[in-house]
Structure 1
Amino acid sequence: MTVGRPKASSRETLAEAASELFLEQGYAATTVDDITRRAGVSRSSFFNYFSSKADVLWGAFDERLDAAASALRDGAAPAREAVRSIGDGFAPDSLALAVAQASAMGIGDDLERERAVRQVRLAHAVADRLERDGTRPLEAQVRAAAWAGALLAAVWSWSEAGPGRSSLSALVDDALSYAP
């Protein structure tokens, strides 16, 4: 017998509560306790789903990034395709809302810092794969940095334009077309 809310429901409820609070009082002023009170769950429930406030925003993206990094390590997809796949079927979420409402949430600097961390993480995974496939190290690093940058630029563009109004996949394809 399952007790409490279903996992997806609790995760979504927490993300929604966090987003509301970030808009109302700002990211820095919102605590995990505020989020759990608003969501009607315990503090331990929060940490069952998220490791930090930032994870509330980046969780879905990080899952896709982890899947792409795994595909790159396992050789399951060509490097460029693994990067492109991160945008496939991506639905508007708390990250897209945070990007679109960064000023209102007072989260611009935090988003940029977290964006850079993920861009570097993806670039390393791509460069490793390209090098294993025989690309010279410098070329692999330049391509990987460009592809990771293109992906994050597409996510930002999609979010700022109003996520759901266009296909993130199409924007990722467009952004990757500019990268070597």
Structure 2
Amino acid sequence: MTPEPRSGRPRASSREVLAEAACELFLEQGYDATSVSDITRRAGVSRSSFFNYFAAKSDVLWSGFDEQAAAGIALLREGIAVEGALAAIGAGLAPDALALAITNAEAMGIAAELDRDRAVRQFRLQREIALRLAHDGMPVLAAQVRAGALSAAVLAAVWAWADRTGAGRPLDEVLAEVLDLA
């Protein structure tokens, strides 16, 4: 006897389908005018399915970056060199909903939301980098300043890569360049 096929979308494709539906709606009607219900209706999944993947509407845009940042933070905590851990963030990030949102921020009506969320993520990275640098013996204030520069560099690289001010180069190349500057 063959098992019954599972109903619903496979877990990985649901996340992608939700992100695609969200971006389409953000472009069509703007970020503020788009509800989670609109997104789930467009994606053909339940509202509870949305919250299995994302805590909030804005998280749809940031999920790829958040996964890569979490991996980079894990590397920091494991003792990998700071620059190596931060480079890992760029190594696995592919063009996704965030890149689309950065490129189309004005059309989506999401520029202010992106700025706010960018600051939150930059601070999370800064905190983790500062902890690591201080653990490695750097004075706390110096660690905080250095971490601020490095975390800003990571987000600046993502923006330059997404909006093509990075001359269309791969993210890992843009990230390496800005980490050297920081």
Same fold flag (TM > 0.5): yes
Given that residues 166 and 174 in structure 2 are in contact (C-alpha distance below 8 angstroms), is that contact kept between their aligned partners in structure 1?
no
Alpha-carbon distance in 2 for matches of 1:137, 1:37: 49
> Are 2:109 and 1:106 equivalent residues in the alignment?
yes
Displaced runs of 4 or more, over 2 A: 162-166
Q: Please say if 1:116 is aligned against 2:115.
A: no
Task: Kindly report the root-mean-square deviation, in angstroms, between the aligned alpha carbons of the 2 structures.
Answer: 1.5
1:136 equivalent in alignment to 2:139: yes
Match of 1:87 among 77, 81, 90: 90
Question: Between Structure 1 and Structure 2, how many residues are aligned?
Answer: 178
> 1:151 aligned to 2:154?
yes
Task: Flag the 1:167–1:123 CA change in 2: closer, same or farther, 3 A.
Answer: same
Q: CA deviation at 1:8?
A: 1.0
Q: 1:54 — aligned with what?
A: 58
| Residue type at the aligned position of 2:40 | T
State the Cα distance separating 1:165 from its structure 2 match. Answer: 3.8
Q: Distance in 1 between matches of 2:123 and 2:100?
A: 23
Decide whether aligned partners of structure 1 residues 49 and 105 sit closer, same or farther in structure 2, where only a CA change above 3 A counts: same
The TM-score normalised by the length of structure 1 is 0.95
Q: Which of 49, 70, 73 is 2:74 aligned to?
A: 70
Residues 15, 56 of structure 1: 8 Å contact kept: yes
More deviation, 64-73/151-160: 64-73
Q: Secondary structure at the match of 1:28?
A: coil
Aligned with residue 5 of structure 1, among 9, 22, 33: 9
- In 2: Cα distance, 1:68 partner to 1:100 partner: 24
After TM superposition, the score normalised by the length of structure 2 is: 0.94
Contact 1:96 1:163 in 2 (8 A): no
What secondary structure sits across from 2:127 in the alignment? helix
Letter in 1 for 2:78: D
Structure 2 SS opposite 1:86: helix
Cα deviation 1:114-146 (Å, max 9, x = unaligned)? 000000100000000011111111111111110
Rg larger in 1 or in 2? 2
Which structure 2 residue ranges, 5 or more long, are not aligned? none
Long gaps (5+) in structure 1: none
Give the whole-Å Cα distance in 1 for the aligned partners of 2:77 and 2:130. Answer: 11
Q: Give the C-alpha shift of residue 96 in structure 1.
A: 0.4
Amino acid across the alignment from 1:49: Y
Residue 15 (structure 1) aligns with? 19
- 2: CA distance between counterparts of 1:178 and 1:165? 19
Report % sequence identity. Answer: 56
Pick one of 28, 35, 41 that aligns with 2:39. 35
Q: 1:170 to 1:67 in 2, by over 3 A?
A: same
